[in-house]
Structure 1
Amino acid sequence: MTTHQNQNQLFVGSFIYSKNLDELEYLHGAAICVDKEGKIVAVERDCDEQTAIETVFPGLGWSADEVVVSVTKDGQFFFPGFIDTHLHASQYPNVGIFGKSTLLDWLNTYTFPLEASLADPLKARKVYSRVIRKTLSHGTTCAAYYATVDVPSTNLLADLCLAAGQRALVGRVCMDQLSPAYYRDDSPAASLAATRASIAHIEKADPGMRLVRPVITPRFAPSCSAPLMRALGDLAKEMPHLSVQTHISENAGEIALVRELFPMESTGAADDSYAAVYDAFGLLTDRTILAHAVHLSEAEADLIKTRGAKVSHCPCSNSAITSGAARVRWLLGKGIVCGLGTDMSGGYSPSVLEAARLAALVSRHVAMGGDEKAKLSVEEVLYLATKGGAEVVGLEGRVGGFEEDGEEDGNVDVFGWESWGDMVAKWVYNGDDRNTKKVWVKGRLVHERK
Structure 2
Amino acid sequence: MAPPNNGKNQLILGTFIHSRKLDELQYLHNTAVCVDTSGKIVAIEPECDQAKAESTLFPRLRWSAEEVMVTVGKDSQFFFPGFVDTHLHASQYPNVGIFGKSTLLDWLNTYTFPMEASLSSLPKARRVYTRCIRRTLAHGTTTAAYYATIHVEPTNLLADLCLSMGQRAFVGRVCMDQLGPAYYLDESPEQAIAATRATIDHIRGIDANFDLVSPIITPRFAPACSADTMRQLGELQRETELPVQTHVSENAGEIALVRELFPDSTSYADVYDRYGLLGEKMILAHAVHLSEEEADLIARRGAKVSHCPCSNSAITSGEARVRWMLEKGIGVGLGTDMSGGYSPSVLEAARQASLVSNHLVMPGGKLHELPQEEREKAKLSVEEVLYLATRGGAEVVGLRDKIGAFEVGMEWDAQLIGLGMVCEEAAEDDMEDEGNVDVFGWEPWDERVAKWVFNGDDRNTKKVWVRGRLVHERKEN
- Taking structure 2 as the reference length, the TM-score comes to 0.92
The farther-off stretch of 3-12 and 287-296 is 3-12
Confirm whether residue 434 of structure 1 aligns to residue 435 of structure 2.
no
One-letter identity of the residue aligned with 1:6: G
One-letter identity of the residue aligned with 1:392: V
Other-structure match for 1:101: 102
Other-structure match for 1:277: 271
Alpha-carbon displacement from aligned partner over 1:339-390 (angstroms, at most 9, x marks no partner): 0000000000000000000000000001213133210000000000000000
Confirm whether residue 449 of structure 1 aligns to residue 443 of structure 2.
no
| Helix, strand or coil at the partner of 2:278 | coil
| Helix, strand or coil at the partner of 1:149 | coil
Give the superposition deviation at 1:46: 0.7
Confirm whether residue 92 of structure 1 aligns to residue 103 of structure 2.
no
CA distance in 2, matches of 1:4, 1:328: 38
CA distance in 2, matches of 1:172, 1:215: 8
Work out whether residues 5 and 37 of structure 2, in 8 Å CA contact, stay in contact via their aligned partners in 1.
Answer: no
CA distance in 2, matches of 1:126, 1:372: 45
Other-structure match for 2:245: 245
One-letter identity of the residue aligned with 1:406: Q
One-letter identity of the residue aligned with 2:414: D
Alpha-carbon displacement from aligned partner over 1:24-45 (angstroms, at most 9, x marks no partner): 0110000000001000000001
Give the superposition deviation at 1:187: 0.2
Other-structure match for 1:292: 286
Alpha-carbon displacement from aligned partner over 1:115-159 (angstroms, at most 9, x marks no partner): 011110000000000000000000000000000000001000000
Give the superposition deviation at 1:101: 1.6
What are structure 1's unaligned runs of at least 5 residues? none
CA distance in 2, matches of 1:97, 1:140: 22
Match of residue 401, structure 1, among 401, 405, 428: 405
Work out whether residues 13 and 49 of structure 2, in 8 Å CA contact, stay in contact via their aligned partners in 1.
Answer: yes
Give the superposition deviation at 1:3: 7.9
CA distance in 2, matches of 1:7, 1:159: 24
Other-structure match for 1:353: 347
Q: 5 Å matches for 1:8-407?
A: 8-240=9-241, 242-264=242-264, 269=265, 271=266, 273-368=267-362, 369=365, 370=368, 371-402=375-406, 403=411, 404-407=413-416
Alpha-carbon displacement from aligned partner over 1:236-272 (angstroms, at most 9, x marks no partner): 11111x10000000010000000000111xxxx4x2x
Work out whether residues 5 and 443 of structure 1, in 8 Å CA contact, stay in contact via their aligned partners in 2.
Answer: no
CA RMSD in angstroms comes to 1.0
| Helix, strand or coil at the partner of 1:77 | strand
One-letter identity of the residue aligned with 1:254: E
One-letter identity of the residue aligned with 1:229: M
CA distance in 2, matches of 1:305, 1:4: 39
Give the superposition deviation at 1:7: 1.2
Work out whether residues 5 and 445 of structure 1, in 8 Å CA contact, stay in contact via their aligned partners in 2.
Answer: no
One-letter identity of the residue aligned with 1:207: A
Runs of 4+ in 1 over 6 A off after TM superposition: none
One-letter identity of the residue aligned with 2:456: G
CA distance in 1, matches of 2:40, 2:326: 30
Give the superposition deviation at 1:174: 0.1
Work out whether residues 4 and 467 of structure 2, in 8 Å CA contact, stay in contact via their aligned partners in 1.
Answer: no
CA distance in 2, matches of 1:6, 1:137: 23
Identity of aligned residues (%): 71
Give the superposition deviation at 1:203: 1.1
Work out whether residues 406 and 438 of structure 1, in 8 Å CA contact, stay in contact via their aligned partners in 2.
Answer: yes
Work out whether residues 408 and 435 of structure 1, in 8 Å CA contact, stay in contact via their aligned partners in 2.
Answer: yes
Change over 3 Å in CA distance of 1:401–1:5 after alignment to 2:
farther
- Taking structure 1 as the reference length, the TM-score comes to 0.97
One-letter identity of the residue aligned with 2:417: E
What are structure 2's unaligned runs of at least 5 residues? 369-374, 419-433
CA distance in 2, matches of 1:20, 1:195: 37
Match of residue 445, structure 2, among 415, 420, 424: 420
One-letter identity of the residue aligned with 2:467: K
Work out whether residues 83 and 390 of structure 2, in 8 Å CA contact, stay in contact via their aligned partners in 1.
Answer: yes
Work out whether residues 140 and 352 of structure 1, in 8 Å CA contact, stay in contact via their aligned partners in 2.
Answer: yes
CA distance in 1, matches of 2:37, 2:377: 45
| Helix, strand or coil at the partner of 1:4 | helix
CA distance in 2, matches of 1:405, 1:429: 20
CA distance in 1, matches of 2:441, 2:254: 50
One-letter identity of the residue aligned with 1:147: A
Give the superposition deviation at 1:5: 3.0
Work out whether residues 4 and 38 of structure 2, in 8 Å CA contact, stay in contact via their aligned partners in 1.
Answer: no
Work out whether residues 249 and 289 of structure 2, in 8 Å CA contact, stay in contact via their aligned partners in 1.
Answer: yes
CA distance in 2, matches of 1:317, 1:46: 43
Work out whether residues 29 and 45 of structure 1, in 8 Å CA contact, stay in contact via their aligned partners in 2.
Answer: yes
| Helix, strand or coil at the partner of 1:15 | strand
CA distance in 2, matches of 1:316, 1:293: 14
Work out whether residues 85 and 389 of structure 2, in 8 Å CA contact, stay in contact via their aligned partners in 1.
Answer: yes
| Helix, strand or coil at the partner of 1:84 | strand
CA distance in 1, matches of 2:357, 2:240: 36
CA distance in 2, matches of 1:311, 1:383: 14
Give the superposition deviation at 1:75: 1.6
The farther-off stretch of 143-152 and 398-407 is 398-407
CA distance in 2, matches of 1:367, 1:373: 10
Give the superposition deviation at 1:96: 0.3
Give the superposition deviation at 1:441: 0.5
Alpha-carbon displacement from aligned partner over 1:303-356 (angstroms, at most 9, x marks no partner): 000000000000000000000000001101111000000000000000000000
Work out whether residues 3 and 446 of structure 1, in 8 Å CA contact, stay in contact via their aligned partners in 2.
Answer: no
| Helix, strand or coil at the partner of 1:347 | coil
